[in-house]
Amino acid sequence: MEYVSPEGLRLDGRRPMEMRQIRAEIGAVSKADGSAIFEMGNTKVIAAVYGPREVQNRSQISNHALVRCEYSMANFSTGDRMRKSKGDRRSTEISLVIRQTMEAAILTHLLPRSQIDIYVQVLQADGGTRSACINAATLALADAGIPMRDLVTSCSAGYLNSTSLLDLNYVEDSAGGPDVTLGILPKLDKVTLLQMDSKLPIDILETVMQLAIEGCKAIANYIREILLENTKQLEYRRGV
């Protein structure tokens, strides 16, 4: 199968190094302490954050904040509209991945004896849901005013037809090639998440990773803009 034409165009018309169109919106769930919608192409994810609040289960109290995460997929998020069972292996795994990634960014020691709940739901799936969830969670955490070391942003990259491709969509993702999901702290230049479930020669992995890092940085810039815009609006509303 030809995923990149000799003219250098992918099936959806992008070039190998291009990301899909991204869009973000802060404050989609007014009840939550912080929330955001994040879109990467046709992948659409909503995140809501509650906290910091008092730890519900007293046995879990510690001098660091407790971060919990729940990931789910809406029944209407894929074409077949099948009932998505909660707590299956895949969603448990993704919940864990998101929790660990966010935990690495949150300054948990500043919030002892408290807990933070992150809920993410996929509204529409078209590849790269993991990355979109992390990006949405970052925005929601920022919206909730939770102290963080840096924004965490995530982006995926793959390798098909001997070409590194940024931000795989569903069709490219199902090609069965390597798919690297990367999460970074852009300002600190640190990697907090690296996932890949196939084989890739080490030198190629490096170029693919480099591409994913570029993607993460671009997303970070966009997220920063959105936050700035949001702050400006808040200032305006408060009449500063």
Partner 1 sequence: MLHNKSFVKKTRAGKVMKQVREHYLRDDIYCGAPFCTVCDTSGARLNASPSTTILVVDTNVVLNQIDLLENQAFDNIVVLSIVLEEVKNKNMAVYNRIRALCSNSTKKFYVFSNEYHRDTYVKEMSGETKNDRNDRAIRVATQWYQNHLGGAVKVLLITNDRENKRKASEEGIFAETVESYVKSLDQPDLLDLLVRPASEDVNMEEVEDLRPSKRKVIYSEHKPMSEITSGLHRGIYHQGKLRVNRYNPFEAYVGRESIGDEIVIYGRSNMNRAFDGDVVAVELLPQDQWQEVSSLSIAGEEDENEDEDVHLAPNSADVAPRTIPQQGSSGQVNAVPNRPSGRIVGIIKRNWHSYCGSLEPMPMPAGSGGIAHALFVSKDRRIPKLRIQTRQLENLLDKRIIVAVDSWDRQSRYPSGHYVRTIGEIGDRDTESEVVLIENDINTRPFSSQVLACLPPLPWLVSSEDLSNPIRQDLRHLLVFSVDPPGCKDIDDALHCHALPNGNFEVGVHIADVTNFVHPGTPLDDEASQRGTSVYLVERRIDMLPKPLTEDICSLRSDVERLAFSVIWEMTPEADIISTRYTKSVIKSSAALSYVEAQARMDDSRLRDPITTDLRNMNSLAKKMRLRRIERGALTLASAEVKFQIDTETHDPLDIGMYQIREANQMVEEFMLAANVSVAEQILKSFSLCSLLRRHPTPTREMLEPLLQTAAAVGLHLDVSSSKALADSLDHAVGDDPYFNKLIRILATRCMSQAVYFCSGDLSPPEYHHYGLAAPLYTHFTSPIRRYADVIVHRLLAASLGISKLPSVFQDRLQLSSIADNLNYRHRNGQYAGRASVELHTLIYFRKRPTDTEARIVKIRSNGFFVFVPKYGIEGPIYLTKSGKGNGEWYVDEQQQKIKRMDGSLSYSVLQTVQIHMEVVEPQPNRPKLQLTLI
CA end-to-end distance (rounded Å), the chain: 57
Count of Cβ atoms closer than 10 Å to residue 21 Cβ = 10
**Is there binding between residue 239 and partner 1 (CB under 8 A)?**
no
Q: Smallest gap, in angstroms, from Cβ of residue 2 to partner 1?
A: 8
Which is closer to partner 1, CB of 9 or CB of 107?
Answer: 9
Do the beta carbons of residue 135 and residue 43 sit within 8 Å?
no
Alpha carbons 49 and 237: distance in angstroms, whole number: 23
Judged by CB under 8 A, does residue 82 bind partner 1?
no
Closest contact distance (angstroms) between CB of 204 and partner 1 is 8
Task: Provide the minimum distance between the beta carbon of 145 and partner 1 in the complex, in angstroms, as a whole number.
Answer: 32
Under rule CB under 8 A, how many of the chain's residues touch partner 1? Answer: 22
Residue from 41, 51, 128, 186 touching partner 1 (CB under 8 A): that is 41
13: contact with partner 1 by CB under 8 A = yes
Q: Minimum Å distance from CB 79 to partner 1? A: 5
Q: Which residue stretch of 68-76, 98-106, 185-193, 196-204 sits at the interface with partner 1 (rule: CB under 8 A)?
A: 196-204
- Among 17, 55, 61, 171, the residue binding partner 1 under the rule CB under 8 A is 171
Applying CB under 8 A, does 12 fall inside the site for partner 1? yes
Which range, of 15-23, 66-74, 139-147, 231-239, touches partner 1 by CB under 8 A? Answer: 15-23
Nearer to partner 1, 34 or 41 (CB): 41
CA atoms within 13 A on the CB side of 159: 19
In whole angstroms, the minimum distance from the beta carbon of 3 to partner 1 comes to 13
User: Would you count residue 21 as binding partner 1 (CB under 8 A)?
Assistant: yes
Residue closer to partner 1, measured from CB, 18 or 70: 18
The whole-angstrom separation of Cα 230 and Cα 145 is: 12
Q: Which residue in 63, 80, 236, 237 binds partner 1 (CB under 8 A)?
A: 80
Cβ-Cβ contacts under 8 Å for 215 (sequence gap 6 or more):
19, 155, 156, 157, 166, 167, 182
Binding site for partner 1 (CB under 8 A): 5-7, 9, 11-14, 18, 20-21, 41-42, 79-80, 126, 162, 169, 171, 199, 201, 204
